[in-house]
Amino acid sequence: MTGARRDLGNKEAIMNAEQRRFTRTNAVIDGAFRCLDGNAQGALMLTDRSRGGIRATLTQALEPGKRIECGIHMPEQSLPVFTTGTVMWVRAKPRESTFGFDAGIRWDSFGLLDNPQIEGFRFTPWRMRHIAAFASQRGYYARRFPDTHAKSSYFLPSLWTGYVLAGGISALMFPRWLPVFAATLVAGLVGVLFEGLRRVGAATAGGSLAVRLQTLAALCISKPLVYLEYGIFFLRGFVSRHLPRDAR
């Protein structure tokens, strides 16, 4: 018991040191996490954040030192922010609840919340499932609570999805439309490329050329596909009478 208290004291000291080093911003934001070295996963509720990490409440306990991946639902972003980090300390809440554990998580790289599209457009099966559930949930709430959950930016991926589907069908039915449709797609991809160059330059400053090229390729290839997936599931949630089960 004495050793456990000593460990808890060390974790609190780490937390206090992090709070002194980085300016923290209070915010209650939901998300999800999974352990990178196992099958453990659950939901989290972010209670405050800084450029160095976050403090969050979790649905299950994790050991300090665990490496985790997080999908965080930033209100100002149309897509979840994905990043990886290390659990620095964990403390059980005195009262039992769904979110029964407080934890401090340190980012692997500072500034990911300032450049969320870099890390966020690297595909993994867990991220694809998370984006689908998140989009369904956001679409459902956008219809049910339009005053607070129907921001215009949330609909952008669905507009892209609708354009690709409608444009592709029109191009097949009316061949004269094909050159125009192809040109607009190319123009959009060029725009993604230039955006990627700007973001990659800011997010990988000091990194090797290989890292920059890999990150740029991940961004340019993944972003249109992520938008398609989000757009489809957002519309699915928007037209659903009840919140889809996989979005709960």
Which residue ranges form the domains of the chain, and what is each CATH number? 2-110 (2.40.10.220), 120-247 (no CATH)
Cβ contacts of residue 96 below 8 Å, gap of 6+? Answer: none
Whole-model pTM above 0.85? no
pLDDT at 77 over 90: no
Given a contact cutoff of 8 angstroms between Cβ atoms, the answer to whether 57 and 103 are in contact is yes
Banded model confidence at residue 9, pLDDT cuts 50, 70, 90: very low
The pLDDT tens digits of the residues spanning 87-125 come to 999 998 877 677 889 999 988 764 444 444 445 556 678
The pLDDT tens digits of the residues spanning 224-246 come to 788 888 889 999 999 998 887 76
Look at residue 158 in the predicted model and tell me its pLDDT: 87
Q: Residue 238 is encoded by which pair of tokens?
A: 């928007």
Rounded CA-CA distance 6/69 in Å is: 27
- CB-based contacts of 159-165 (< 8 A; 24+ apart in sequence): 159/231, 160/224, 160/227, 160/228, 160/231, 161/227, 161/228, 161/230, 161/231, 161/232, 161/235, 162/231, 164/228
Burial-class residue 28 by CB neighbours within 10 Å (0-12, 13-18, 19+): exposed
The pLDDT tens digits of the residues spanning 34-65 come to 998 877 888 888 888 777 788 888 988 889 99
